């Protein structure tokens, strides 16, 4: 009877489907690019399980001013599929590494009409429950003033720190050299004084008989 119960438990445990856990998906928040340039949109995920051979990645695109999203890319079964009718049919390349949980894509030769929101979804069976992550793309004809100001400010701060470090370095070298020189002069003067006293010898005591009263 016990043997029968044990076998029944093994069979039941074997047919119970493995429970899925939540999967966390990550993308950037906002990306800026210039017309005619290329940009990489990153997508990765966290899962408590090993990367499955059935891992999938999906990208959708919603243009600015539109409520509808269109599918532009899908990875499944070890193969990548690009939508052959969408706006990125000839300008999208899969550059991710599914084995490392990377589902990134590369958009080429950007246009102003490419502004919009890109959403990535990933599945790592049995972990298939997760919230897709979105990144907004802003394409400019030239570097926006705000971005230029921020970039200039960052460069200015970095250069200022470098100059400050160099000044502090040479100041410390000067102070150390000055201290060493002062110690050397003090030590040399002390030795010279001691040598002079040794050459003069001790002063003889005065003869009391020669002292005038």
What's the pLDDT at 10?
Answer: 35
* 126 & 151 share domain: no
* 34 & 136 share domain: yes
* 135 & 150 share domain: no
Whether 163 maps to a domain, the answer reads yes
**Is pLDDT at 198 greater than 80 in this prediction?**
no
* 73 & 115 share domain: yes
Boundary (domain end) residue, out of 124, 140, 156: 140
Using CA atoms, how far residue 36 sits from 59, 136, 168, in Å, is 21, 18, 44
pLDDT range class, residue 8, cuts 50, 70, 90: very low
Whether 11 maps to a domain, the answer reads no
Q: What is the CATH number of the domain that holds 28?
A: 2.60.40.10
> What residues have CB less than 8 Å from 57, skipping those under 6 apart?
43, 73, 74, 75, 96, 98, 103, 120, 121, 122
Q: Note down the domain range covering 149.
A: 145-176
**Is pLDDT at 20 greater than 80 in this prediction?**
no
* 74 & 103 share domain: yes
**Is pLDDT at 68 greater than 60 in this prediction?**
yes
SS3 sequence, 96-134?
CEHHHCECCEEECCCCHHHCEEEEEEEEECCECECCCEE
**Total domains, the chain:** 2
Rounded distance between C-alpha atoms, residue 24 and residue 49, angstroms: 12
Rounded distance between C-alpha atoms, residue 39 and residue 25, angstroms: 20
* 131 & 159 share domain: no
* 99 & 151 share domain: no
What's the pLDDT at 115?
Answer: 97
Whether 182 maps to a domain, the answer reads no
* 56 & 119 share domain: yes
Q: Which tens digit of pLDDT belongs to each residue from 25-63?
A: 999 999 999 999 999 999 999 999 999 999 999 999 999
Reading the block at residue 154, the tokens are 């960052």
Q: Which tens digit of pLDDT belongs to each residue from 98-145?
A: 999 999 999 999 999 999 999 999 999 999 999 999 999 999 998 765
């Amino acid at each position: 009877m016990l043997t029968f119960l044990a076998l029944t438990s093994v069979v039941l445990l074997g047919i119970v489907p493995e429970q899925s856990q939540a999967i966390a998906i990550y993308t950037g928040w906002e990306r800026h690019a210039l017309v005619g340039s290329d940009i990489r949109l990153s997508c990765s995920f966290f899962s408590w399980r090993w990367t499955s051979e059935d891992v999938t990645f999906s990208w959708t695109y919603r243009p600015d001013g539109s409520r509808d999203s269109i599918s532009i890319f899908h990875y499944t079964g070890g193969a990548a599929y690009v939508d052959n009718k969408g706006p990125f049919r000839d300008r999208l390349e899969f550059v991710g590494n599914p084995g490392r949980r990377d589902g990134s894509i590369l958009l080429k030769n950007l246009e102003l009409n490419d502004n919009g929101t890109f959403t990535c979804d990933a599945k790592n069976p049995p972990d298939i429950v997760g919230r897709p992550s979105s990144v907004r793309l802003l394409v400019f004809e030239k570097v926006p003033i705000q971005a230029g100001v921020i970039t200039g400010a960052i460069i200015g701060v970095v250069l200022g720190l470098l100059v400050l470090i160099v000044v502090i370095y040479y100041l410390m070298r000067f102070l150390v050299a000055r201290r060493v020189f002062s110690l050397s002069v003090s030590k040399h003067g002390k030795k010279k004084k001691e040598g002079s006293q040794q050459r003069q010898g001790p002063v003889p005591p005065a003869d009391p008989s020669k002292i005038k009263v």
